Structure 1
Amino acid sequence: MTKLKELLRRLTIKTIIISIIEFLILLIFYGLYSFWIFWGSLGAILGFWLIGSDIKKMVYNIDVKKKKKLDKGYIFRYILYGIILFIPAIFSEKSIVPVIVGIFNLKIVPFFEK
């Protein structure tokens, strides 16, 4: 297993653990709406793996001869985050906060890495 895959696996496990802790805390304030935190955390986990695939492309210089104006992986990630935020917004305005907290795990989890 490469270092990148090992790192992504550890980040995924830590994201799941932190999501469970956040779920238990938000259960007090948001009730059943706090289940949406797992939807946001799924977005964070997918974000980690998509960032990992972009890193692999950069390291191995795939498509090095092409001059890129915009990185497709970057745009795809933000479209994914938009879809992840849009779906709970259809159901209820109370469900948006737990989803944002779940997506924010993308920024929190790396601080717990070595």
Structure 2
Amino acid sequence: MEPQEVDFAHTEGAARKRREKAVGLAKYVWDRAISGKELLDLTDSTLRKLARAAGSNPPSTMETWLTVAELLDQKSAWAERHPDHPSASPAHADEKIMWVKPPVAPWTD
């Protein structure tokens, strides 16, 4: 009988570490008022820079970023239900422009 190969990326320990990293990233991203959709629209390069700014090594797979986006959506829903709670407002919303660029309006004459 041959030994089975182990997929180390999908062990319980790996899932726990991925979740911990996602929570840390989500906290940083939430404080910059970036939505889950906006996060997933960012380029790979920008996601790496964002992770480093959050004090984290960039995730090696998109799986972590998908978890971050889910956490952001959950936090947004919670914030809508609790608008008066101090944690319902992003602390550094003014920094969003550093990561998510608004659409450029076309020139008109």
Could you state the TM-score of these two structures normalised by the residue count of structure 2?
Answer: 0.32
Q: Tell which structure's C-alpha radius of gyration is larger.
A: 2
In proportion to residue count, which structure has more helix?
1
